[in-house]
């Protein structure tokens, strides 16, 4: 669904249908992130291929076990100038994506958004706040409902907020 409430174009609806399928969940995690990383690097952070359908960021976290930097291309839902919603759908596959464990262990991270590197702090959403964010995410990208229906785990939602120079 587009932000203005208008119905999505046919091409978007087709991609939503394809991306809801199990075959997409098996193939996409191996192809989409690799393509996104390569194009992002080649364009110096200005382009993410997957962002042609959904807004996207490159999330840099600290590995929960390794302590090393981990870069992950992700679809996101911008919530304003300084906050983004990150959905740990893992394309509807059983396990939580590794980046969610990284944020739980180390909530301070960085995103590359439209060619700019932005320091952020992540917070796992729970309770009513999570339910409101989940409803917004489903309006934004309806395939998330199919992803949740395929897995027993509860998809993690994080709100990442820009950290200003004062560390807020």
Joined together, the tokens standing for residue 44 give 């110096």
pLDDT tens for each residue of 140-164: 888 899 999 999 999 999 999 999 8
Contact assessment for residue 158 and residue 125, using Cβ atoms and an 8 Å cutoff: yes
pLDDT tens digits, one per residue of 19-55:
666 666 666 666 666 666 666 566 666 655 555 567 8
Confirm whether pTM is higher than 0.85.
no
CA distance 29 to 127: 29
């Amino acid at each position: 669904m587009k932000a203005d409430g208008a119905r999505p174009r046919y091409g978007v609806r087709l991609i939503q249908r394809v991306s809801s399928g199990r075959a997409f969940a098996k193939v996409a995690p191996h192809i989409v992130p690799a393509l996104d990383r390569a194009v992002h690097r080649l364009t110096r952070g200005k382009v993410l291929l997957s962002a042609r359908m959904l807004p996207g960021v490159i999330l840099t976290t600290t590995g929960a076990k390794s302590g090393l930097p981990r870069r992950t291309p992700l679809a996101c839902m911008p919530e304003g100038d300084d906050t983004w919603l990150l959905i740990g759908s893992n394309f509807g596959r059983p396990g939580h994506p590794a980046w969610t464990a990284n944020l739980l262990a180390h909530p301070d991270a960085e995103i590359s958004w439209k060619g700019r590197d932005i320091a952020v702090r992540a917070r796992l959403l729970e309770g009513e706040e999570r339910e409101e964010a989940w409803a917004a995410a489903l309006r934004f990208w309806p395939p998330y409902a199919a992803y949740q229906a395929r897995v027993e785990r509860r998809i993690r939602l994080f709100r990442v907020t820009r950290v200003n120079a004062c560390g807020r």
